Amino acid sequence: MHAFDWLGEWAVKGENDPLASFWMPFTANRAFKANPRQLVSASGMHYQSGDGRQILDGTSGLWCSNAGHCRPEITEAIAKAAATLDFAPTFQLGHPLPFELAQRIAALMPEGLDRIFFTNSGSESVDTALKIALNIQRAKGQGTRTRLIGRERGYHGTGFGGISVGGLVNNRRAFGGGLPGVDHIRHTHDIERNAFTRGFPQHGAELADDLQRLVDLHGADTIAAVIVEPMAGSTGVLIPPTGYLQRLREICDRHGIILIFDEVITAFGRVGGATAAGQWGVTPDIITMAKGLTNAAVPMGAVAVKRELHDAVIDSVPGGIELFHGYTYSGHPLASAAGLATLDLYARDGLFDRATELGTYWEDAAHSLKGARHVIDIRTIGLVAGIELEPRPGAPTARAMELFHACFDNGLLVRATGDIIALSPPLIVEKAQIDEMFGKVGELLGRID
């Protein structure tokens, strides 16, 4: 019997409802459970659905399976690690894999960010980065700097730090509002000036000066750190205007503010190169990552910190534990093994170059949807595309959700976020598959009201 045949018993509702117990994250549970769309296996560029169809993965799962699915190089490394050392603590003890992985990650980071802390997810990476930033300021004798700054329309995961600096009120409002002492700079989304831009939008660098406004408002000596995604992915593919990130960097430098880039999506090849920071030539003080680090085969995140800032914390505590922070699973053997195998694969197959190699083809394919029904903007960079739809009057987000369902039912996985359809395929994608993706989206757009 197929492992998922029990789904056929879905008709038996009530007490025996096989879908009832899993309270699904970020999901309209009732709607999903009334019409469950399941994925049961995966290989390379494709998922297989519960009803036996091949689904082209246009989103690398959730922006994470950058090398494609079930790569034997990775799954075999995980199996070997599991059979050799299933778990070992990294509190006051060590085991070789995370040391090796940290060194490998450090080599991929922009110059100077070579101290690596391990977490288990993007959310943990973000909260870790915020805590490290606060700790650095204290270690440098700047203990009044406790304020954290995020950005409107930012997404930084679901920890208390992440929802607080995040710019989506829906992620906060059910939980009492998040941390005190947080503020936000303005987002950079501006369809009026930048619609249908390829690559970096031309207009909006001056929006970085909003950080200066907050410095003037609160005082630099109250501000510890600012966190932004170099490219905001999950809130709709918001690409930084030309010069914007440089300007943020300058303002941070001027005022002693730690700059954190949340690269949970952009690291590991998504925009070309190992990081957006490296690719776009702006070096933050801290980088958060997760997702592509292990090709998502085992959960893992990491935080890269500038060596001198790491040293400030280490040197501030002459004896004993320097950073009171960590997770049971920091540097877990299976995750570390997956990370090492993933980085090997990225290097062997030159996957960080794919976004550049395919860039023009990708852009042309995406922008061929200009003029398609409902489309009011298309944004592209690296191997990412955001297709913004005109909201249906009285039912915002409904159109993108219907398109998401229609795509799935027609063999393509896309991501719907607000009124935006995001595409971010595994970096092994081929040109014919790019054609298939945008061809299908175009066709199905025509069928949606």
* 126 binding ligand PMP? (CB under 6 A): yes
Kindly identify the residues of this chain, within the stretch 86-125, that bind ligand PMP according to CB under 6 A.
121-123
Binding-site size, ligand PMP (CB under 6 A):
14
Torsion angles phi and psi, residue 396, rounded to 5: -60, 150
Q: Give the span between the Cα atoms of 268 and 250, in whole angstroms.
A: 25
Q: How far is the CB of 417 from ligand PMP (least distance, A)?
A: 10
Q: For residues 6 and 175, which CB has a smaller minimum distance to ligand PMP in the complex? A: 175
Q: For residues 109 and 375, which CB has a smaller minimum distance to ligand PMP in the complex? A: 109
What mask, x for binding ligand PMP by CB under 6 A, covers residues 281 to 300? Answer: ---------x----------
* 156 binding ligand PMP? (CB under 6 A): yes
**Which amino acid, 130?**
L
* CA–centroid distance for 399 within its chain: 24
CB atoms within 10 A of CB 216: 9
Q: Token pair 């914390």 is at which residue?
A: 313
Q: For residues 163 and 369, which CB has a smaller minimum distance to ligand PMP in the complex? A: 163
Among candidate residues 233, 162, 190, the one with its CA nearest the CA of residue 381: 233
Torsion angles phi and psi, residue 67, rounded to 5: -100, 10
Q: Give the span between the Cα atoms of 274 and 216, in whole angstroms.
A: 35
Question: Contacting ligand PMP (CB under 6 A), which of 182, 264, 300, 375?
Answer: 264
Q: For residues 262 and 377, which CB has a smaller minimum distance to ligand PMP in the complex? A: 262
Q: Give the span between the Cα atoms of 323 and 10, in whole angstroms.
A: 49
Question: Contacting ligand PMP (CB under 6 A), which of 47, 155, 362, 438?
Answer: 155
Q: Give the span between the Cα atoms of 424 and 241, in whole angstroms.
A: 20
Q: Give the span between the Cα atoms of 194 and 183, in whole angstroms.
A: 26
Kindly identify the residues of this chain, within the stretch 198-237, that bind ligand PMP according to CB under 6 A.
229, 233-234
Q: Give the span between the Cα atoms of 359 and 364, in whole angstroms.
A: 9
Q: How far is the CB of 312 from ligand PMP (least distance, A)?
A: 25
Q: For residues 269 and 436, which CB has a smaller minimum distance to ligand PMP in the complex? A: 269
Q: How far is the CB of 303 from ligand PMP (least distance, A)?
A: 12
Q: How far is the CB of 337 from ligand PMP (least distance, A)?
A: 19
Residues within the interface to ligand PMP (CB under 6 A) = 121-123, 126, 155-157, 229, 233-234, 262, 264-265, 290
